[in-house]
Structure 1
Amino acid sequence: MQVPLAALTEPLRATLVGSDATIERVITDSRLARPGDLFVPLVAERDGHDFIGAALAAGATAALSERSADNLGLGLAARLLLVAHTGAALNDLAGFARARMSGSVIGVTGSVGKTTVKDLMAGVLATKLVTSASERSFNNEIGVPLTLCNAPDDVEALVVEMGARGPGHIAALCELAHPRVGVVTVVAGAHLELFGDLAGVAVAKGELIEALPADGTAVLNADDPFVAAMAARSAAPVLTFGRAAGDVRAGDIALGDDLRASFLLTSPWGSASVHLAIAGEHHVTNALAAAAVALDAGISVESVAEALGAATISPWRMEVVTTPGGATLINDAYNANPTSMSAALTALGALPARRRVAVLGEMAELGADAEALHHEMVSQARSLGIEVVAVGTDAYGIAEVPPADAAAVLSSLGEGEAALVKGSRVAGLEQLVSWVVGG
């Protein structure tokens, strides 16, 4: 979004201090500041106003502020938009940006796979349309406004990831984003402490489908009963995807030694062979979701198949690397819940290796069933001939080890051996991978 500061005074109910200038990007992290940026200081555990000076010194063009330049200790040259509340102003700014768009917003949610679907979808849509998408997992009340604000003015397809940590969260994000297309991946046991049970998760995720206009499209996973049932909540036409059922399906699925899946994509728009660029058979379903949106947008099935064969995803998700010792290491450390953990263990079990080790961190926010769910993962691992090393948690019912010991186990693996590193975000196990792979 390129816009003069003066044009923002009315929608943000703001007062411009200093000369007018054009901003091109909105940021909330002063460390990222560069010319053309509008820095938005949010007030949470730390008060972002304390970093306005640093952002401007680093080159930011202007900053929102609830305080005057004098109060902030800034000079007369400081360029500020004075507002009553910076958090509310960020939402107003996102609404202003959304109103300027003529392209479609595609919302993506689900307990598992939403970031991967977002990445794959953006990669496919970008072959034919001016496309923008949420960075990394920018899917909350801060990330979604930033995604809207930072989309290019000529965007034709904006893919917005939407997360929920409670009922009403996705509905609030939809009020900002006004999606025309909504995709729901899976309803699974993530954040059960907050939702209570799977039915509660389904209610929250389905808020995206309820927000769609009648001329939009609801894209639903036909293999997941909770997701498929959301069709009844949609005023928009429904397009389904799935491996076992759906309008957009996968047949003849095969998995290579590199864990990359191949399949025959079948749809009402025709069929084509796909060879994914990313590892893990479970990503076939994610690819089908992305394909369904792209086909609905008018992209040919041949172009979709070709793009899926080149599309990549965000870091620390089923990254297959080789350790200095020659072992194959699956870095899936970004996050974990029982569904994604089970899929990752299955992927490790499919690798041709004489020894397989899973280095696992905690699966957080699972509620009352947390112990049983962790133990289930150990049982699955053992059934696949996988050794389990638990890092920083005794939830798996086995002795936990410190990160240094886990790193030693991984470093000891050699050619013909394989490992998985996975845990919830709080475990931060990507650092472990960095130690081992980076030496």
Structure 2
Amino acid sequence: TNEIKEMVREISAKDDYDVVLVELGGTVGDIESQPFLEALRQLRNEEGSKNVMFVHVTFVPYLNAAGEFKTKPTQHSSKELRSMGINPDMIVLRSQEHIDDDIKRKIAHFCDVDFDAVVNTPDAQSIYEVPLVLDRENAGQFISDRINLGIDFENDKNTLNEWSEIVDSLKIQDPVVTIGIVGKYVELEDAYISIRESLHHAAAKNGVKMNIVYLSSDVDVKDENELKAFEEELSKLDGILIPGGFGDRGVEGKLQAVDYAIENEVPIFGICLGMQCMVIQFARRIGMDDANSSEFKEDLKYPVIDMMEEQKKIKNMGGTMRLGAYDCKLIDGTKTKEAYGEDLIQERHRHRFEYNNEYRDVLTGNGLVIAGTTPDDFLVEIVELPDHPWFIGCQFHPEFKSRPNNAHPLFASFVKASFENKE
């Protein structure tokens, strides 16, 4: 428990934060949560009740057969928390429909909290509406008063104006831009949740509605009928996005999507493995038929994507990862530099293989532009084609830095180009 408390304190001391939000997931009563619950109980005791607030989020099911909400699960979880020494200051009720005041009063009565401390967040059209729902329930004012933040939500009407405008922009219904995510994990859409949300952020910035189509890259490109069907689906898209991934399954389908985008001048954005597929397919198009990544095949004639020499000696896969944020220098005259408007950026990485510098001259000599490198010019971070409407691949993961009120520059530029392609 001491280590857990110290971790929370270190975060709060690192920067000048007004509030540190600690989320403890799971279900009350789970054995794996007990050390964390005890640590938080101790933290409140040590820091003072005016400095630590507990918010209990609970689901209130609605039974259609009975025509009523069932509050017993919430009552039991609150009772269980109290038995552990944690008294919730606020209870947030998740529900599929709106919960009326009578139900909220019942929960307040049996869970030993004020009526004003019971907040309902029914299902919303967009997750970004939730802060506005909480504001309508006066949750912000209650929290501010409880831990002495000194914010007057009642008189400061501008508190969530910007956020409200963002939510409105995300609700735009027309015009529509259609982006296809070509990957091998498309059966579970949440596998690409960060990319999905980044596209929505970029659409809002460009004043368009985002329509995302998920296409499986697990395609047998040697089967003419399967390939034709795949290309027919690609033809319906305004832009193509190739996300990251590991392993060789589905790679040939991604390469085919890259080739289609080049041939038909469809805007295409490659991220991590997607960028590597762009390099591989470009190499194949200029006569390097055996071009591939050494991740997928050994003894290649043209390993245009390879692991760095210093990493090959490391046997543990996690040890060979290039993880975290790194600086990237942008090259003048590129679409990437135009999108960012900066000389030096910092982006987050998670990969093992890199653009092979042995093929740097031959690839650039045939038209593939290096748009970004590490500050020492050693590692290639971004590639693009200047004579294509929008063909950019990046080795990093820009989706991790996109925000609803600050769409990532590459995503914003990509969506803009895709919409222009539609027109």
Larger Rg: 2
- Using the size of structure 2 for normalisation, the TM-score is 0.30
Q: Which has the higher helix share?
A: 2
